[in-house]
C-alpha cells in the first residue's frame, strides 16, 4: 500500500490491529486526510464516521478503538503531547473521545505510528506490543485482576503503556484507560478495552518525525512557554492551586454542584478547597508529558506519594455527596485510579444512588453525608459485585430501572462535571450540545467566561450560543493538534483576567452578550480571519511543524469539521432528533427559588445554536456537511435522519 | 468603622499567606491598603528566616473578584456593616 507523505510532523503511518486474528497491517491515511482532520479526536471522528453502521454497539466485535496522536506530539511544543482514544461509548451508545496527558502518544510516534486502530476481540487476555519492527501479542492472563499501577509495573520499563484496571476487565460502563498516572477517563473506553480482552498496549521506538521549520518552531516554543508561564490562569492560578483552585470561585459563583446538583453552594467548601489541598496536603506539583503549567497535585495516601484529586473529584466526591473530609477524597481518588474508573461518572452515579435512597426509591447502602462505606462501594462497582453491579452501568441506566430521570444528572448518558449550570447558563447549553455527553470541556468550557475567568453575565441567554460554538470549535481544534485544552485559556487576554474590577474590563465584558452575530459571521465565512493571533500559538506551531497552512480560521474549521463529523456519526448510531437535553432539575427548577432566571433556558438557546451551526433539531444539514468537506453517502445520511425522527 | 471578616482565596491567599483576617473599615475599598500592610508584615517575617521568599505584589480593588456576604460586589464605595464577611478571589480556570 502506497502511503506517500509530504507533510512533516507526522510519521505518515496508521496501524490497524485485528485482535481476533492477531494480525496487523497499515491503514490507509493520506496527506489529504491529515490536512482535513489534523489529528487526535478529529482524525478519530473521521475514521469512525466512515466505519460505523446504524445500530452498531460499543461491545460489538467490530467496534473500533481508535488511538490517535496530533502533529505537535513530540515536536517540542509545550503542553502538546496529548493523545486521544475514540470509540463507540458503552455509557452513551454514541461516539466518545477521551483525551490523555500520559506519554503513550509520544511513544507511539517513536514507534513509527500516528495512530493505532484496534478491532475484533481476542479469545484470551492480551497485551499488544508495538515497535517499528513488529506488532506482537503477549498473553495477559497473569495481569488480570491487577490494578492500573500494578499492571504498569509488570510491563517493561521505558516504553509507552496503556492499561486498564479491574473496572475495565468487568466492563464497568465508565471504566477508563491509564498511561502512567494520566487517564483517558470519559465515556468508558476502558470497558471497550475489557470487552476486547485488551488488558494492555505498549509502544517503543526511537525515531521521531521531522518538522518543517525547526528554527521557527524553536523560537515560537520559547514565546509560547513565556505566554503560558506569565498568563494569570496558566502561569499563576493553575501552578499554585491546580484545578482544585476552582472550588472557592465555584462556591462564590453558585456553580459548585452540591447534593446531586440540587444546590450550587456547599457550607463545607473551605475544607475541600484547592487552598486546603495546597496548604496541608500537597507534596509536589506534577505535569503531563511536555507540560509547562504543572497543575497536577501529588499527595500522600498510606505514605505513598500518588496523584492527588482534581477539581472534579473534590467537587463531586465532596460537595455533591455532602462530604467535607478531604483526606477521604484524596484516598478515593487514588482508589478509583487504581481500579481504573472515571472519577466523574463514578461520583455522579454515586450521588444519584444517594438521592434514590433519600427519596425512598431504593437503598444501595450509600447516603448523603455518609462517607464510611464509599470506598467499599467503589470496589464493588469495579468488580460488579452486589449493588455495585447496578451502579456500574451509570446514572442513565439506573434511572431507566428505578425512575428519577429528572435528577439523574447526565447528558446523553454521561454524568456531568462538577459545575452545576443554573448560574452559568451558557455552560448548560454546552453540556446539552456536547457530542460526547455531559462533558465540560467538549461543552466549550463556558464557565471560564461566565464567572470564573471573566465575568460575562452568567444568567443571560444572549450571545451564549455563538460563544459556545466558538469555544467548542476552538477547543476541538487545539485538541486535534495534540495540545492540552488548558492552553486555550491563554487566548483570553491577561489584562481582562487580571483586572476584573477595572472599568475597561467591565465595559468589554458587558458587550459579550451582543457578540453573537460577529462570532457567527466568523464561523461561517471561514476565509475571513485568515490570520494567526499571538495568543493562539497552536496555529503557528502547526504551520511550522507540518507545513500545513494553518490560520485562526483554519483552526476553527478543523474544530467545526470535528464537531459535525462526530455529530453525524452519532445520528447514524441512533441519536434521535433534539437529543441535546439536560435533566429537568437543571432546566425547569430555579436554583434560587426567588430568581426564575436561575435555570438553564435551553429552549431559548438551542434554536440560536442550531441555526448558527447549520443544524436542524441537532442534526447537521446536508449542505453544512458538504461545505465542511465531510463525505458520507447521501443514502446513509437520509436513512439516518429519517431514523432520528422515527 | 465596621468590624468585618475578610477571607482570601486563590492566588491572593497563596501570595499573601493570609487566609482569614478581621479588619475595621468603613468602605469596601479601604480594606485593600490594610491587607497589603498585613501582607508586607508577614512577608518580612518570612523573609527574615528565608531570604529566598518572594515578595507579594500589592493588590487593589480592581484586581479582585469581591463578594460581600455571599453576593458579588463591584462597588468600591460600598458601606460596610459590623459582621460583614468579605471574600476576595482571584480569577480561575481549569477543567
- Give the CATH number, domain containing residue B23: 3.10.20.30
Q: Which of 54-83 (B) contact A at CB < 8 A?
A: 61-67, 70, 72, 74, 76
Mean pLDDT of all residues belonging to chain B: 93
Report CB contact under 8 Å: A278, B9.
Answer: no
Q: Which fold has domain A421-568+576-644?
A: 1.10.599
Report CB contact under 8 Å: B93, A248.
Answer: no
Mean pLDDT of all residues belonging to chain A: 95
Q: Which of B8, B58, B66, B95 to mutate to test the interface with A (most CBs of A within 10 A)?
A: B95
User: A83-88 and A65-69 as β-strands: parallel, antiparallel, unpaired?
Assistant: antiparallel
Contact list, B87 vs chain A (CB under 8 Å) = 248, 252
Q: Residue A497 pLDDT more than 70?
A: yes
Produce one character per residue of A318-327: b if its CB has 16 or more CB atoms within 10 Å, e if not. bbbbbbbebe
pLDDT band at A50 (very low <50, low <70, confident <90, very high): very high
Q: Residue A597 pLDDT more than 80?
A: yes
A193 closest CA partner among A94, A126, A100: A126
Q: Range(s) for CATH 1.10.599.10 in chain A?
A: 421-568+576-644
Length of chain B, please? 95
What the block records as the C-alpha cell of A602 is 435551553
Q: In this predicted structure, which of A39-48, A203-212, A338-347, A529-538 has the lowest mean pLDDT?
A: A529-538
Left (φ > 0), alpha (ψ -120 to 50) or beta: where does A20 sit? alpha
Q: Residue A439 pLDDT more than 60?
A: yes
Instruction: Provide the CA A410 distance to its chain's centre, in angstroms.
Output: 15
Domain assignment present for B76: yes
Domain assignment present for B7: yes
Higher pLDDT residue, A94 or A552?
A94
Q: How far is A487 from chain B (nearest CA, A)?
A: 10
User: Do A426 and A455 meet the contact criterion of CB atoms below 8 Å apart?
Assistant: no
Contact list, B94 vs chain A (CB under 8 Å) = 238, 242-246, 295, 310-311, 486
A232 DSSP assignment: I
The percentage of residues in chain A with a pLDDT greater than 90, rounded to a whole number, is 88
pLDDT value for A531: 67
Q: In this predicted structure, which of A48-62, A540-554, A582-596 has the lowest mean pLDDT?
A: A540-554
A539-560: pLDDT as tens digits: 999 999 999 999 888 999 999 9
pLDDT band at A123 (very low <50, low <70, confident <90, very high): very high
- A244-415 CATH: 1.10.569.10
pLDDT value for A2: 46
B39-87: pLDDT as tens digits: 999 999 999 999 999 899 899 988 999 999 999 998 899 999 999 999 9
Tell me which chain A residue has its CA closest to the CA of residue B10.
Answer: A245
- The neighbour count for residue A267, using CB atoms within 10 Å, is 12
Q: In this predicted structure, which of A40-49, A200-209, A376-385, A527-536 has the lowest mean pLDDT?
A: A527-536
pLDDT value for A529: 57
Domain assignment present for B23: yes
Report CB contact under 8 Å: B13, A245.
Answer: no
Distance CA(A635)–CA(A8), nearest Å, equals 36
The chain A residues in contact with chain B (CB within 8 A) are: 232-233, 236-238, 240-246, 248-249, 252, 265, 273-275, 278-279, 295, 310-311, 440-441, 445, 448, 452-455, 485-486, 489, 497-502, 506
Q: Which CATH number fits domain A14-203: 3.60.9.10, 3.30.420.40, 3.30.1330.40, 3.40.50.2300?
A: 3.60.9.10
Domain assignment present for B21: yes
pLDDT value for A524: 67
Q: What is the number of structural domains in chain B?
A: 1
Contact list, B92 vs chain A (CB under 8 Å) = 233, 237, 241, 245-246, 249, 452-453
Q: Residue A443 pLDDT more than 80?
A: yes
Q: What is the interface pTM, i.e. ipTM, of the complex?
A: 0.96
Q: In this predicted structure, which of A528-537, A555-564, A590-599, A628-637 has the lowest mean pLDDT?
A: A528-537
Domain assignment present for B16: yes
Q: In this predicted structure, which of A256-265, A409-418, A491-500 has the lowest mean pLDDT?
A: A491-500
**What is the value of pTM for the model shown?**
0.96
pLDDT value for A543: 95
Q: Residue A1 pLDDT more than 60?
A: no
User: Do A281 and A330 meet the contact criterion of CB atoms below 8 Å apart?
Assistant: yes
DSSP letters of A140-173?
-GGGTT--HHHHHHHSPSSSEEEE--HHHHTT-T
Report CB contact under 8 Å: B9, A237.
Answer: no
Q: Residue A4 pLDDT more than 80?
A: no
Contact list, B78 vs chain A (CB under 8 Å) = none
Q: How far is A368 from chain B (nearest CA, A)?
A: 24
Burial environment of residue A285 by CB neighbours within 10 A (0 to 12, 13 to 18, 19 or more): middle
Domain assignment present for B95: no
Domain range spanning residue B85?
2-89
Domain assignment present for B94: no
A235 DSSP assignment: I
Q: Residue A423 pLDDT more than 70?
A: yes
User: Do A264 and A420 meet the contact criterion of CB atoms below 8 Å apart?
Assistant: yes
Domain assignment present for B44: yes
Amino acid at each position: 500500500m502506497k502511503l506517500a507523505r509530504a507533510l512533516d510532523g507526522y510519521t505518515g503511518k496508521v496501524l490497524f490491529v485485528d485482535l481476533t486474528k492477531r494480525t496487523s497491517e497499515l491503514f490507509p491515511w493520506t496527506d489529504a486526510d491529515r490536512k482535513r482532520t489534523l489529528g487526535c479526536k478529529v482524525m478519530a471522528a473521521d475514521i469512525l464516521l466512515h466505519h460505523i453502521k446504524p445500530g452498531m454497539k460499543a461491545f460489538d466485535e467490530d467496534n473500533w478503538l481508535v488511538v490517535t496522536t496530533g502533529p505537535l506530539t513530540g515536536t517540542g511544543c509545550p503542553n502538546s503531547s496529548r493523545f486521544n482514544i475514540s470509540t463507540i461509548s458503552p455509557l452513551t451508545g454514541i461516539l466518545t473521545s477521551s483525551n490523555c496527558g500520559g506519554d503513550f502518544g509520544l511513544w507511539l510516534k517513536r514507534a513509527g505510528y500516528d495512530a493505532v486502530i484496534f478491532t475484533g476481540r481476542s479469545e484470551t487476555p492480551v497485551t499488544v506490543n508495538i515497535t517499528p519492527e513488529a506488532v506482537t501479542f503477549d498473553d495477559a492472563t497473569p495481569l488480570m485482576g491487577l490494578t492500573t499501577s500494578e499492571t504498569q509495573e509488570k510491563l517493561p520499563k521505558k516504553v509507552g503503556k496503556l492499561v486498564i484496571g479491574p473496572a475495565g476487565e468487568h466492563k464497568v460502563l465508565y471504566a477508563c484507560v491509564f498511561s502512567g498516572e494520566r487517564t483517558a477517563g470519559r465515556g468508558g473506553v476502558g470497558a471497550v478495552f475489557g470487552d476486547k480482552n485488551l488488558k494492555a498496549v505498549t509502544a517503543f521506538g526511537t525515531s521521531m518525525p521531522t518538522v518543517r521549520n525547526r528554527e521557527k518552531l524553536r523560537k515560537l516554543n520559547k514565546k509560547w512557554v513565556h505566554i503560558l508561564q506569565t498568563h494569570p490562569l496558566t502561569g499563576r492560578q493553575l501552578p499554585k492551586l491546580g484545578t482544585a483552585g476552582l472550588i472557592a470561585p465555584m462556591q462564590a459563583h453558585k456553580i459548585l454542584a452540591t447534593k446531586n446538583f440540587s444546590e450550587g453552594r456547599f457550607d463545607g467548601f473551605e475544607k475541600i478547597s484547592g487552598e486546603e489541598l495546597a496548604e496541608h496536603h500537597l507534596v509536589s506539583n506534577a505535569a503531563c508529558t511536555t507540560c509547562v503549567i504543572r497543575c497536577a497535585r501529588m499527595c500522600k495516601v498510606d505514605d505513598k506519594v500518588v496523584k492527588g484529586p482534581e477539581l472534579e473529584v473534590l467537587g463531586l466526591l465532596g460537595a455533591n455527596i455532602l462530604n467535607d473530609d478531604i483526606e477521604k477524597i484524596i484516598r478515593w481518588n487514588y482508589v478509583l485510579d487504581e481500579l481504573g474508573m472515571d472519577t466523574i461518572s463514578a461520583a455522579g452515579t454515586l450521588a444519584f444512588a444517594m438521592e434514590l435512597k433519600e427519596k425512598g426509591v431504593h437503598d444501595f447502602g450509600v447516603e448523603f453525608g455518609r462517607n464510611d462505606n464509599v470506598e467499599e462501594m467503589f470496589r464493588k462497582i469495579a468488580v460488579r459485585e452486589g449493588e455495585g453491579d447496578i451502579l456500574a452501568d451509570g446514572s442513565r441506566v439506573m434511572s431507566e430501572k428505578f425512575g428519577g430521570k429528572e435528577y439523574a444528572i447526565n447528558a446523553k448518558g454521561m454524568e456531568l462535571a462538577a459545575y452545576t449550570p443554573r448560574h452559568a447558563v451558557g455552560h448548560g447549553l454546552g453540556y446539552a450540545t456536547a457530542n460526547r455527553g455531559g462533558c465540560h470541556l467538549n461543552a466549550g468550557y463556558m464557565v471560564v467566561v461566565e464567572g470564573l475567568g471573566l465575568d460575562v453575565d452568567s444568567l443571560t441567554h444572549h450571545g451564549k450560543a455563538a460563544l459556545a460554538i466558538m469555544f467548542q470549535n476552538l477547543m476541538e481544534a487545539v485538541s486535534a493538534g495534540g495540545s492540552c485544552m488548558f492552553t486555550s485559556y491563554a487566548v483570553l487576554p491577561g489584562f481582562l483576567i487580571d483586572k476584573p474590577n477595572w472599568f475597561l474590563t467591565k465595559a468589554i465584558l458587558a458587550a459579550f452578550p451582543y457578540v453573537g452575530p460577529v462570532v457567527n459571521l466568523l464561523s461561517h465565512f471561514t476565509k475571513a480571519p485568515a490570520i494567526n493571533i499571538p495568543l493562539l500559538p497552536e496555529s503557528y506551531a502547526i504551520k511550522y511543524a507540518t507545513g500545513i497552512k494553518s490560520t485562526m480560521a483554519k483552526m476553527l474549521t478543523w474544530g467545526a469539521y470535528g464537531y459535525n463529523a462526530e455529530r453525524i456519526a452519532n445520528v447514524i448510531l441512533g441519536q434521535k432528533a433534539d437529543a441535546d437535553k439536560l435533566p429537568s432539575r437543571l432546566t425547569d427548577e430555579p436554583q434560587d427559588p426567588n430568581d426564575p432566571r436561575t435555570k438553564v433556558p435551553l429552549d431559548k438557546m438551542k434554536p440560536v445554536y442550531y441555526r448558527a451551526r447549520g443544524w436542524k433539531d441537532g442534526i447537521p444539514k446536508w449542505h453544512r456537511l458538504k461545505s465542511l468537506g465531510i463525505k458520507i453517502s447521501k443514502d446513509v445520511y437520509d436513512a439516518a435522519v429519517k431514523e432520528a425522527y422515527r | 468603622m465596621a468590624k468585618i471578616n475578610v477571607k482570601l482565596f486563590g492566588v491572593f491567599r497563596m501570595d499573601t499567606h493570609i487566609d482569614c483576617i478581621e479588619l475595621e473599615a468603613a468602605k469596601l475599598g479601604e480594606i485593600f491598603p490594610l491587607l497589603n500592610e498585613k501582607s508586607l508584615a508577614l512577608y518580612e517575617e518570612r523573609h527574615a528566616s528565608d531570604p529566598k521568599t518572594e515578595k507579594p505584589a500589592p493588590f487593589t480593588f480592581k484586581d479582585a473578584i469581591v463578594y460581600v456576604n455571599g453576593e458579588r460586589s463591584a462597588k468600591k464605595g460600598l458601606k460596610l456593616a459590623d459582621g460583614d464577611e468579605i471574600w476576595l478571589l482571584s480569577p480561575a480556570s481549569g477543567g
